[in-house]
Structure 1
Amino acid sequence: MSPFELVFAVYGLLLGLAIAEVLGGFSRALKLKRGIRPVRIGWLTPLLGIVVVLDLTSFWLLAWESRDQISANYLTLVLVLMIVGIYYLAATLIFPDEPEQWPDFDEWYDRQNRMVIGGLLAANVGSWIGLIALELTTSRPTPEAELVMSDAEVAVLWLGFAILVPLIALLKVKSRRWNVALLITVGAMLLVFGVAEELV
Structure 2
Amino acid sequence: MSEFEFFFSLFGLILGLAIAVVIGGLSDVLRERSRIEIGFLTPMLALFVLFDLSSLWVNTWAGMVDIQVAYGPFIAALIVAGIYFFSASMIFPKTATDWPSLDHYYMGHYRWVIGGVIAANIGVILIDTVTDQAWTKLPTRFTGSPVTSLWWVVLIVLWAVPRRRVQLSCLALLLLIALYALIAYWGPI
Alpha-carbon shift at residue 7 of structure 1 (Å): 1.1
Corresponding residue number in structure 2 for 1:144: none
Corresponding residue number in structure 2 for 1:30: 30
Corresponding residue number in structure 2 for 1:160: 148
Q: Secondary structure at the match of 1:56?
A: helix
Aligned-partner residue type, residue 79 of structure 1: A
Corresponding residue number in structure 1 for 2:62: 65
Aligned-partner residue type, residue 178 of structure 2: L
Contact 2:25/2:92 (<8 A) preserved: yes
* Matches of 1:160 and 1:128, distance apart in 2: 13
Corresponding residue number in structure 1 for 2:45: 48
Q: Secondary structure at the match of 2:133?
A: helix
Deviations 1:29-53 (A, max 9, x none): 100014xxx2101000001101111
- After TM superposition, the structure 1 stretch with the greater mean CA deviation from structure 2, 85-94 or 159-168, is 159-168
1:180 to 163, 168, 172: 168
Corresponding residue number in structure 2 for 1:6: 6
- Return closer, same or farther for 1:93/1:51 CA change in 2, 3 Å cut-off: same
Q: CA RMSD in A?
A: 2.1
Corresponding residue number in structure 1 for 2:19: 19
Deviations 1:6-48 (A, max 9, x none): 11111211011100100011001100014xxx21010000011
Alpha-carbon shift at residue 191 of structure 1 (Å): 3.1
* Matches of 1:5 and 1:174, distance apart in 2: 41
Contact 2:151/2:174 (<8 A) preserved: yes
* Matches of 1:100 and 1:58, distance apart in 2: 32
Contact 1:163/1:190 (<8 A) preserved: no
Corresponding residue number in structure 2 for 1:94: 91
2:179 to 191, 196, 200: 191
Q: Secondary structure at the match of 2:117?
A: helix
Larger radius of gyration: 1
Q: Secondary structure at the match of 1:70?
A: coil
Determine what percentage of the aligned residue pairs are the same residue: 35
Gaps in structure 2 of 5+ consecutive residues: none
Contact 1:160/1:193 (<8 A) preserved: no
Contact 1:163/1:189 (<8 A) preserved: yes
* Matches of 1:4 and 1:161, distance apart in 2: 29
Structure 2 length-normalised TM: 0.88
- After TM superposition, the structure 1 stretch with the greater mean CA deviation from structure 2, 59-68 or 117-126, is 59-68
Answering whether residue 72 of structure 2 is matched by residue 75 of structure 1, we say yes
Gaps in structure 1 of 5+ consecutive residues: 138-146, 148-153
Corresponding residue number in structure 1 for 2:123: 126
Aligned-partner residue type, residue 23 of structure 1: I
Alpha-carbon shift at residue 54 of structure 1 (Å): 0.6
